[in-house]
Amino acid sequence: MSAATLRGTRVLITGGSSGIGLATATLLAREGARIAIVARGEPGLAAALARTRREGAEAITLSADVADREAIEAAVDAATERLGGLDLVVASAATLAYGRFRTLAPDDFERVLDVTFLGAVHTLRAALPALEASSGSAVVVGSIAGRVPTPMQAPYTAAKHALRGFVGALRIELRADRSPVRVSLVAPAPIDTPLWDVTATTTGERPRPLRPAYRPEAVAETIVACARRPRAEVTVGGSAVALGLLHAVARPLADVALVTYGIRGQAGGRLPSPPTGLREPTGAGRVRAGHGGRGSLATALRLRSLRPLRPRS
């Protein structure tokens, strides 16, 4: 894969039917990549396929639940065969259960871990042989919740902490093995995606991302920058950088902020009906959900330092 251009790059994206995954697929389509979009089912896959093809990209869709190891292995194999290999894998599938730990059903807690953490593990395990063959790379979507505990999101926080540790360990192992595969972790602040509208909740309220929330496109731009020049970890959003720093150097103050605004700031309106995002396909081809997502100046400045490396000889 040339670092200067992504045209012709063979890409697999999980969670590609909405939010960050769909924003990334759209941006890579504009770059001329060939894309395999993986999600649980319709109507999101059809909408994502139409959106990427409008950008002129060669794209295919594959239905798989990333929590099902055999299903995602089959999807990766199919994408590798149909695209003739893989140069880039973007693991962005995630789900969320909202509420205090003592009120969350054990099955719902475990489902969040299965999708958000083990889903990425299954995807990378299945894709590594193809990435080894192409000297490719992977970008895993983490979260500031992987550094800073987020109240009302205990399973999601646990999954993102585990994901950050896993990616770090894998990166070191690949380096020790002199593998050509490079793995990046992109850690966003709260993002305005449709995930918030379909999350399971025990409060009777539809949660919302903490302010300030950022646009999914800011994360997609960072993912593409890491595809050109892999970095160990990149945080998206100035608020995430600030909160991570506060938590690292003054944890008591960070905890006070999370006990107060961290809980109240996520409370939204009443739910008209229970959402079904934990176990059923909910992607509908939407990138944003209307929670006031904004661009990130800090991320834009950071991306200027992610200049392409020289192409591999």
Which residues form the catalytic set?
A: 156
Region of residue 61 (phi > 0: left; psi between -120 and 50: alpha; otherwise: beta): beta
As a whole number of angstroms, the distance between CA 98 and CA 206 comes to 9
Per the CB < 8 A criterion, the answer to whether 183 and 121 are in contact is: no
- In sequence order, which ranges of the chain are alpha helices (DSSP H)? 19-30, 44-54, 69-83, 106-113, 119-134, 154-176, 195-198, 216-228, 238-249, 251-259, 261-264, 297-303
As a whole number of angstroms, the distance between CA 54 and CA 33 comes to 13
Q: How many CB atoms lie within 10 A of CB 7?
A: 10
What are phi and psi for residue 279, nearest 5 degrees?
Answer: -125, -10
As a whole number of angstroms, the distance between CA 258 and CA 263 comes to 7
**For residue 252, what are the contacts with CB-CB under 8 A and spacing of at least 6?**
none
Strand pairing report for 137-141 and 58-63:
unpaired
- In b/e form, how buried is each residue of 252-264, taking b as 16+ CB within 10 angstroms? eebbeebeeebee
